[in-house]
Structure 1
Amino acid sequence: MFVLRSAFWLTVMFLIIAPKDFDLGKTASDASAQALKAGQQVIVSQVLASDCSTLECAGGKAALTVLAGSKFPFVDIPMQMTSNIPVPLPRPRPDRMG
């Protein structure tokens, strides 16, 4: 209960004190994009730093470099827009249950 009460009052105070020309959604999306880009750069630099002696390893490095340079399609599409995933339906109730 204490956590809920604290969250409520912190939200109320933020709404009262927050600047009116501040776009929280845009700031959050910019920070998210920046974190994703930094993470991609770290992963690519770690993979490229390892030594490869086989052709398969070199091909994997090249594919990773190409993927890191492009934008991933699942980042921009909200989950609600991808409703083409089949969902299993529950079994019907047995006749004896009414």
Structure 2
Amino acid sequence: MFLLRSSFWLTVAFLVIRPEADMGATASALSSEAMARGSQFVAEQIEAIECDTITCIGGKALASAAIKTNPAAVDPMHNLAASGSVPLPRPRPDRAG
């Protein structure tokens, strides 16, 4: 009986603890899809504006160019290494022996 009960609870614990999917990849995919759909919607709204002045046409062109750039292509700040990084652990001083 002890072995049966132990195997049951170990199975339940494994099913609860076991990761089903990679949450980081799923969140990244969802956020990139949301950004793509949002920028597509904004681009459609910008294209729907009817312009008759050069200022309006120029503003429309600038807004369209800004939307079409891919911010994900630029390396995010948290992935860049610090310029003056210190090696960890720090080396022992010569006087310490």
Question: What TM-score, normalized to structure 1?
Answer: 0.54
Q: Which amino acid aligns with 1:17?
A: V
CA shift for structure 1 position 69: 1.6
Q: In structure 2, how many angstroms separate the alpha carbons of the residues matched to 1:18 and 1:36?
A: 32
Q: What amino acid is aligned across from residue 52 of structure 2 in structure 1?
A: S
Secondary structure of the residue aligned to 1:22 is coil
What is the letter of the counterpart of residue 43 of structure 1?
V
Deviation string 1:47-85 (CA, Å, 9 cap, x unpaired) is: 11011111111111111222222112697514685x8xx
Q: How does 1:41-52 map to 2 (within 5 A)?
A: 41-52=40-51
Report whether the alignment pairs 1:69 with 2:68: yes
Paired residue type of 2:39 = Q
Equivalent residue for 2:19?
Answer: 20
| Percentage of identical aligned residues | 29
Question: What's the CA shift for 1:16?
Answer: 4.9
For 1:49, give the aligned amino acid. A
Which residue of structure 2 lines up, in the alignment, with residue 10 of structure 1?
Answer: none
Which stretches in structure 1 are left out of the alignment for 5+ residues?
1-14, 84-98
Cα shift readout 1:4-49 (whole Å, capped 9, x = no counterpart): xxxxxxxxxxx95375351100000110011011111111111110
What letter is aligned with 2:71?
Answer: F
Larger radius of gyration: 2
63-72 vs 45-54, greater mean Cα deviation: 63-72
Q: Aligned to 1:43, what secondary structure does the other structure show? A: helix
Partner Cα distance (1:41, 1:51) in 2: 18
